[in-house]
Amino acid sequence: MTRPTRGAPGGRRAAEKIALISLGCAKNLVDSEVMLGALKKAGFVFVSRAEDADVVIVNTCGFIGPARMEAEETLQTVLRLKEKDPRKKIVATGCYVERDRLGLQKKFPGVDAWTGVRSFDRIASIVQGRPVSGPDRTFLYSDASPRLVSTPGTWAYVKVSEGCSHRCGFCAIPLIKGPYVSRSLASIVREVSALAGLGVKEINLISHDTTSFGRDRGLRFGLVRLLERLVRVEGVAWVRFLYGYPGEITEPLLEIMAEPKICRYFDIPFQHSDPVLIRAMKRGSDGVRALRLLDRIRAKLPGASVRTSLIVGFPGEGRREFAGLRNFVRAARFDHLGVFTYSPERGTAAFDRPDNVGAEEKERRRGEIMDIQAGLSLERNKGYLGRQVEVLVESRETGDSSLWVGRGRFQAPEVDGVIRFDLPAGMTAPSSPIVRVEVASAGAYDLEGKLIT
């Protein structure tokens, strides 16, 4: 097995310096880490600034309009660097390339090489200009894949599957990534064991549909079976899974989540509450069902945290439907919440529906929901005042060397808040990757406190 590695890699080709810009979600980040591992194995060296690189790789996201805009702006930026130094090579990879390679090639003829989501493991050959024949499906890494982990040393992502077999009315992921394909249980356990050997304490399981893990392999309650195996891995302290479908939150899953190593954290994108819009979205759980599920989770697992994602401005969302969504958010009392504005995606079921909510109104509605959630989050966070919480240490606070930053079990990396804390007098660094912090102040998203020795 090729073990995951950390740190700034060395290499044999000092002249071939690579900068990789990873856009989009955590799943994209894992693909980027696999590319870094393959490039390190091939002897390349890495630099953090695109200005200093001989080769700049942009791993694009093509999920929704704003993500595509960010990808295009990034390509424009790195191509301006190439104008100053024509020897610089630009490589575009990832979801947006898979979705619309021809359109991007017309917009950005200065890009030297293009590859979608099928050849991440052969990025070294692509950079070197060697021909690569594309496989017939999306690349899914394994524990044998070289991987250069880029997240803080205490935690890492582990992707358990690729693609999606749901056909949500608004989502282009199945059109980009293809049908759902799970990794084997054994491969994931080997990778997690290797990460634990590097000192990783928190494992975050990710995919486009983590609660369906193993179904394509004929495995019943596959995520439950996986969690049962991972809690036995020595060295791992926290296990968290992200992105679950409401209908897949089963009793066996709730039971295994009572295990001490498993974070009582649920990432369940409900998308909306209105039953008519839910049917148009081709989702399975309206507001009434969602509230019942939340009651079941909280009764079974006291203290559980719930994150959701919502879409505002979906075709047909009028004032009544939006008012219902506001009421749903107040009633659900989510711990964490993110809001997307609807983006028409070619090839999806909703694409031909009239996009009847203007861009400014979508943003206004997004802001209104986030304002409601900010109040709920602040109220929730005030409940931690004076309490001691377990914190996974991440790093020093940027710009303030006296503070450190970490997260509680109720906070997922990169999408939720953090806990900032200072140290007792005479201590220069936390003595353990997991510490106890007494919370002294609370904001809408972040907490602050002092390390308890």
Which structure tokens are listed for 413? 């990396």
Which structure tokens are listed for 102? 């021809």
Cα 170 versus chain centre, distance = 19
- The position carrying tokens 């989009």 is 24
CB burial class (10 A; 0-12, 13-18, 19+) of residue 429? exposed
Q: Report all structural domains of the chain as residue ranges with CATH numbers, in order of start.
A: 17-127 (3.40.50.12160), 155-382 (3.80.30.20), 388-452 (2.40.50.140)
SS3 of residue 403 by DSSP:
strand
Comparison of pLDDT for 400 and 408, the residue scoring more: 408
Indicate the pairing of strand 419-422 with strand 400-407: antiparallel
The predicted pLDDT at position 119 comes to 95
Question: What is the pLDDT confidence band of residue 13, given thresholds at 50, 70 and 90?
Answer: very low
Question: What is the pLDDT confidence band of residue 378, given thresholds at 50, 70 and 90?
Answer: very high
User: Helices in 85-159 by DSSP H: which ranges?
Assistant: 95-107, 123-127
Question: What is the pLDDT confidence band of residue 6, given thresholds at 50, 70 and 90?
Answer: low
**What is the largest distance, in Å, between two alpha-carbon atoms of the chain?**
64
What is the rounded CA–CA span in Å between residue 350 and residue 353?
A: 5
Please report, for residues 27, 92, 160, 172, the alpha-carbon distance to residue 23 in angstroms, rounded to integers and kept in the order given.
10, 11, 20, 17
Among left, alpha and beta (phi > 0; psi -120 to 50; other), residue 271 is left
The predicted pLDDT at position 11 comes to 40
**DSSP-assigned letter for residue 271:** B
The predicted pLDDT at position 12 comes to 41
What is the rounded CA–CA span in Å between residue 172 and residue 346?
A: 8
The predicted pLDDT at position 390 comes to 97
Mean of pLDDT over the chain: 94
The predicted pLDDT at position 53 comes to 97
Amino acid in the structure at residue 397: E
pLDDT tens digits for 123-136? 999 999 998 876 77
Q: Is the pLDDT of residue 313 over 60?
A: yes
What is the rounded CA–CA span in Å between residue 329 and residue 308?
A: 10
Q: Is the pLDDT of residue 2 over 60?
A: no
Average pLDDT over residues 261-269: 98
The predicted pLDDT at position 447 comes to 98
Comparison of pLDDT for 402 and 151, the residue scoring more: 151
Q: Which of 123, 5, 103 is nearest to 58 (CA)?
A: 123
User: Helices in 333-358 by DSSP H: which ranges?
Assistant: none
pLDDT tens digits for 27-57? 999 999 999 999 999 999 999 999 999 999 9
pLDDT tens digits for 324-347? 999 999 999 999 999 999 999 999
How many H-runs (helices) and E-runs (strands) does the chain carry?
Answer: 12, 18
For the chain, the residue count is: 453
* C-alpha dihedral sign at 203, 208, 210, 213: negative
Pick from 129-133, 202-206, 375-379: least confident: 129-133
Q: Are 113 and 126 in contact (CB under 8 A)?
A: yes
Q: Is the pLDDT of residue 3 over 50?
A: no
Q: Are 423 and 451 in contact (CB under 8 A)?
A: yes
pLDDT tens digits for 92-146? 999 999 999 999 999 999 999 999 999 999 999 999 999 887 677 899 999 999 9
Beta bridge partners of 182: 161
pTM for the model: 0.94
Question: What is the pLDDT confidence band of residue 8, given thresholds at 50, 70 and 90?
Answer: very low
Beta bridge partners of 157: 204
Please report, for residues 171, 279, 359, the alpha-carbon distance to residue 346 in angstroms, rounded to integers and kept in the order given.
9, 19, 18
The predicted pLDDT at position 178 comes to 95
Q: Is the pLDDT of residue 238 over 90?
A: yes
pLDDT tens digits for 57-88? 999 999 999 999 999 999 999 999 999 999 99
Question: What is the pLDDT confidence band of residue 402, given thresholds at 50, 70 and 90?
Answer: confident
What is the rounded CA–CA span in Å between residue 191 and residue 144?
A: 8
What is the rounded CA–CA span in Å between residue 70 and residue 197?
A: 36
Q: Are 161 and 142 in contact (CB under 8 A)?
A: no
Question: What is the pLDDT confidence band of residue 426, given thresholds at 50, 70 and 90?
Answer: confident
Q: Which of 23, 73, 19 is nearest to 50 (CA)?
A: 19
The radius of gyration of the chain from alpha carbons, rounded to an integer in Å, stands at 22
